Structure formats: C-alpha cells, structure tokens
Chains A and B, each alone.
Chain A
Amino acid sequence: MNLEEYAAKHHVLVPAGVPTPEGRVCKTPEEAAAAVTAIGPSVIKAQVPTGKRGKSGGIKIAKTADEAASAARDILSMTIGGHRVSQVLVEQLCPIERELYAAVLIDVASRAPLVLFSTEGGMDIEEVAETHPDAIRKHVVDIHKGFGAADAGAMLKGLPLGSAAGAIGEVLAKLYTIFQDKDAELVEINPLALLKDGRVVALDCKFVLDDSSAMRQPDLAKVASPPKMTALEERGAENGLKFIQLDGNVGVLANGAGLTMTTMDVIDHFGGKPANFLEIGGEAYTKSEIALDLVLSNPGVKSLVINFCGAFARTDVMAEGVVKAWETLKPQVPVFFSIHGTGEDEAVKLVRERLGIEPYDFMEDAVKAAVEAAQ
C-alpha cells in the first residue's frame, strides 16, 4: 500500500518532526494560483502513486500566480503511469545546496531493518549503487537495540557533510522511528535537501505500508492510494479474491499461487495467452462459485482451464462450487479440467456426472485443448 507524496509528508513525516517545505494540495488551477500568492514561488507536483513524475512533465516550477495556474492546468490534464492526475502539491521553492538520500526498509537478506543513506540524492538508489557505491552507507539494525542519533552519527562518519551531519543524523533516527511505529515496508526521502540556509528538509517522500499490517494502521490505510484496479478486479477484491485481469483469451481457475502461475505459463508455452490470474487456494478455496463468475465475466475469454491440485484446498469443495456456478451461469465457452489431490475422486465424479465432462489426467493436456479451443 503506497502513500502519495503529500499523504506521506502530512501523515507520516510532519507528525514525526521531519521538516518539509510549506505546501498545499490543490485540485484546480485557481487553487494553485492562490497557493503561490500565499507562499511565494513554488514547485507544482502531480500527486500520483508512481515515480518518474519529473520525466513525464508532472513537476513544474511557478514563480507567479499566473504561472502556477497554467502549470497546474497542464499537470491536472495528465495521465502518468496509467494514473490520472487529480491533484497537485504546491510546495514552496527551496534554494538547494545539495541533494541527499535517506531511507529505512525491510532487508530480505538479513531479515532486519536496513537504514540507507547516500550523498547522491535525486537519483535512483540502485543507479547510485552501480555508479557511486562509495556514496552509500548502510546499517542493518538489531531491532532489540534500535537505531538512534548516535548510531546515525557513526553511520555518517567520514562523509563530507560538514555541519549538517547532526541534522541529517536526526532525520535518519526519526525515519527509523517512523518505520517501526508505522509498520512500513519502506520509508524513503529522495531527495533529502540540504538548503543554502543550512536547514535539512524532505523534498519528496515515499511510504509503503506493509499490506498485512493495514488492520493495525487504519489511519494510514485510509489515506493510502487505492490500488489501480479494473472493475472486475475490484469485484474480486470485494469478495476477498486476488484476481488480475490480463489481455489473453484463455481463462484460468486454479488453486494456489504457484499452480496458478504455472497454468498461465503452460498456456503461454502452447502458444496461447492467459486471460487472468486467479487463485482460490488458501482460505479462498470455498469461493469457487464467485471465482468462476469473475473469470467468465472477462470479455476476452474464449475457453477456460480449471486446474486443481488439492493439498489444503479440497478439490471436491472447489468442484462443487464450479459445478453449481456452471449450472446457474450456463456459459457457452468450452472448459477443460485437470483435478488431482485432496478430494480428487469425489471432484472428478461431480464434474463427470453433473457437467458430462471428463477431466484430463495431465494439466498440460487440459491446457493444450483449451488453447486450441480458443483459437
């Protein structure tokens, strides 16, 4: 779950005492003009949950109210990375001495928090890692010890930061507190600016909330950008199903993430194109009825593969849902089954007797038949 720049600054950085420039969120050119009149020359920034705003023209400088209105008008008509821009952040222009980088994230390799700092801000950290590895400092945190200003000081030692080192260290320590308190997967300030007047401020911020922690961070979950979903994907989500709509013509219904991805891969292998990802494993295995309805509602679907290999998920329960849905929906698309694992005998019998369809022994054969039927 991502927070857009303004939400991340307003709900995360500011309450934790990390300085940010004065700014206002605006939905119209008139609001943007008024904001610049109030706070002076500003940067107008598209608020979309994606990077590359600058490269797409989503960030412009406005010195006057007229310039602000015109810049906001341009940006508010844009679509960036598939996201329509519906608001801009008007933020006071700051005279920058130097751009830095600071972040705290979950490090998979060490299974611990990782504090990252770089003297090369404003660019992608992976790029810096390749071109200027010396500019990056890393600190893996022992969560029982935490990470305070003293740790930050040790981490920054030797970098040419002058008198700003103390203020930067404080920002790093605050970022770690944010990371811990707010269940962050990532909190990143890029750039962290050292201003000509000596202040250190966050010019941009990216905050990713751990999906599994949304329940205990309800305030942040509320202000996170809604994920970009198609109408069918939304219907899936409302029913607790992970449905991803794709542009192929062979529908997929399988249990478990691994088996579902594999079913898609085998469709691709035989020259077909999968129409969706949809798994009904785990706790969702009783939802095959609504799942089938979702897959069949995808307008591109010309044939369907149903591939069950039951472990935790019982294939008899899944098959019963499918059969019931089939009898209600009476779809015209051909369907090809492969069923194995927990509850297999009952499941095969159900499909055979109620739908008059004989499941294939190997999933490859079911997929091949479905790909041929779709052509």
Chain B
Amino acid sequence: MIYRRGQKVLVQGMTGKQGAFWSERMREMGTDVAAGVNPKRVGQTFLDTPIYGSAVEATRHTPCDVSVIFIPPSMAKDAIIDAIDAGIGTIVTLTEHIPAHDVLEIFARQRVSKSRIIGPNTAGIVTPGEGFVGIMPGHNPNIFKPGRVGVISRSGSLGTLMCLNLTRANLGQSAFIGIGGDPIIGTTTRDALMELDRDAKTDAVVLVGEIGGAMEEEAAEYARTMKKPIVSFIAGRSSPPDKKMGHAGAIVTGGRGGYASKRAALEKAGVQVADTPAELVALLQQVNVTKMSAAG
C-alpha cells in the first residue's frame, strides 16, 4: 500500500475529465501511468497511453502493479472485480457512494484473491520523491516532501493539511496512505499502521482518524506493540451525534464511534493525541527531539 517508483499503474476511467487530469498530475510526479481502460476507446492512445477494453485485457499486454478507479458508483463494482480478475495487487478505489451491497460483493471476491483494496472513497496514496496514485496534490512540493514520517488518514483534505504542516516544519514524509471515508474499506487504520511499522523508511507515524466506526480503537491495540512513535489527531470531537458528517463512515450512533473512546484507546496505547492540527506537529517535533537526545 506504499507506492514505489517504477510500479506500473493502470487507470480505469482514464479518458474521463478527472481521470485525464489526475493521470497527468501523477505522471508529473514520476508515477508510471502505463495503461488505461475504456471499453468505448479500445485500441486508441490517450495521453500517449494505450487504452484497453478491460483490466484483464490491459494486463495481458502491460502487467500492472496498481490500478486506480475513476469510475462512477453504479459501475464501480464491475470495474473493481475486473481489476481483481486481472490479478492487480493494489486497487486504489476513489469512488464515493458505491451501493453498500456492491461493496459486499466486491469484498466477497477480493477475499479469495491476492488483491488489496484501498478505499472506497479514498483520495489515494503518495510517496514523496517516488510517485502518487489518486487525487492528492502529490505533485505539489509545498505539501509533500521526502522524509521519514508515515501518514495515515481517512480524509483526503485533512490528510493534505497534515502533510502541508509537516512539510512547513521541515518534517518530510515517507508515505501517505489515504484509507478512505467509507464505513467498509479494504485497508483499515490498523492495516496501514502495520505497513508503516514494517517500512524501513518510516521512523514515526501520524495517524489521522475521525469519529465513526472502531478503526482507531483496533489500531490502538496494534500501536501498543510498536516501537516507532505515533502521534494522532481525531476529527469530529465537536460533531453532533446521529448525523453523517459528510463521510458515510463518520457518524456517532447509539454512543458508538465517538471521539472520547478513540482518544482514550490511543492514549492508553501510548499515542499522543493533539487537540489541533498545529499541535500535532509540535508533538511530533518533541518526539523527534526526545528520540535524538535518547540516541545521542
């Protein structure tokens, strides 16, 4: 779930307005955009890229490591299952509002495959200095710069702000993993945390959560076992209960999914939780100083 330079990317829905715009941005940053899918434009070349009728057909000509889904909700299920059938390792699903039962079908297929799904409703993944996949401003050097802090975020906009703040404080990032704002997603906070724990290029983790679900609590169980320092911010402390706060997954119902439980679980696991985004950077700087003085 960390993009590496040289990995080939298939863009499903490349010829659409957003698919085209973001394919160019990805390429600007060095992402290897290798092929596109649009059944109506088979055999054509678009942005100097071959277009195929399906992911299965595309990978027969150009094996791809990653696929990114720029497909509207009603057709997203077929596109993702196509990518699974093509044996693509990582499927970055940007689409929001996929019908819930389509999501269940997607995961029933994914479960018996080797594919990993990131999202749905993710803004993508960014590896500064290597490339990005999705709709993040990965190509903007004011926001992302290479470094050793791994960032996990359910939200694209808030994740962007966190990376911007880190970059302004001269704390570069080893990877940004956008996991998505839906209640059912393929890569959870805990999965992303485990990946950054394994990643030799990551020294510390910023965990950006939000109200709803129990992913932060599950991640906290793993965080307890980690040596790498983790700092966190959880959005939604002041949100009213029983309302979906924009993301389908961000809702507090029947007292579950609330801010206090997430914060308590993380703090109990030794994770420092910031009250504001700026404070998160300050906490991380302290962690860095402590670590350096401990080492020296």
Chain A residues with CB under 8 Å of chain B are 106, 108, 111-113, 126, 142-144, 180, 183, 185, 210-213, 215-216, 242, 244, 246, 254-262, 264-269, 274, 277, 279, 281-282, 309-313, 340-342, 344, 362-364
Which B114-165 residues sit within 8 Å CB-CB of chain A?
123, 135-137, 140, 142-143, 153-161, 164
Judging by beta carbons under 8 Å apart, are A313 and B108 in contact? no
B236: A residues at CB distance < 8 A: 261, 265
Tell me whether B99 and A259 are in contact (CB under 8 A). Answer: no
Chain B residue nearest to A248 (CB atoms) is B238
* A262 & B156 in contact (Cβ 8 Å cutoff): no
Complex alpha-carbon distance, A113 and B100, angstroms: 11
User: Is the pair B157, A258 in contact by a Cβ cutoff of 8 Å?
Assistant: yes
How close is B262's CB to chain A, nearest CB, in angstroms?
A: 13
| Besides A260-B157, A274-B238, A362-B278, 16 new A-B residue pairs in contact (Cβ under 8 A), listed by A number | A112-B104, A144-B108, A211-B97, A213-B99, A213-B100, A256-B156, A257-B155, A258-B156, A261-B158, A261-B246, A281-B246, A310-B157, A311-B137, A340-B143, A341-B143, A364-B278
Residue total for B at the interface (Cβ-Cβ under 8 A): 59
Residues of A within 8 A of B107 (CB): 111-112
Q: Would you call A258 and B239 a contact (CB within 8 A)?
A: no
Q: Let me know if A260 and B245 touch, CB within 8 A.
A: yes
CA distance A312 to B181 in the complex (A): 15
User: Is B20 part of the binding interface, using a Cβ–Cβ cutoff of 8 Å?
Assistant: no
Q: Top 7 nearest A-B pairs by Cβ distance?
A: A258-B155, A256-B157, A257-B246, A258-B158, A259-B157, A268-B238, A210-B100
- With A210-B99, A258-B159 known to touch, is A112 a contact of B108 (CB < 8 Å)? yes
Give the distance to chain B from A109, nearest Cβ to Cβ, in Å: 8
Pair B158/A256 contact, Cβ less than 8 Å: yes
Q: Are B277's CB and A363's CB within 8 A?
A: yes
Contacts of B156 in A (CB 8 A): 256, 258, 281, 311-312
Report the nearest A residue to B109, measured CB to CB: A144
Most chain-A CB neighbours within 10 Å: which of B99, B161, B254? B161
B277 cross-chain contacts in A, Cβ below 8 A: 262, 266, 363-364
Whether B100 lies near A106 (C-beta < 8 A) is yes
A185 is contacted by which of B100, B143, B158, B254 (Cβ under 8 Å)? Answer: B100
Max chain B Cβ within 10 angstroms of own Cβ: one of A106, A213, A242, A262: A262
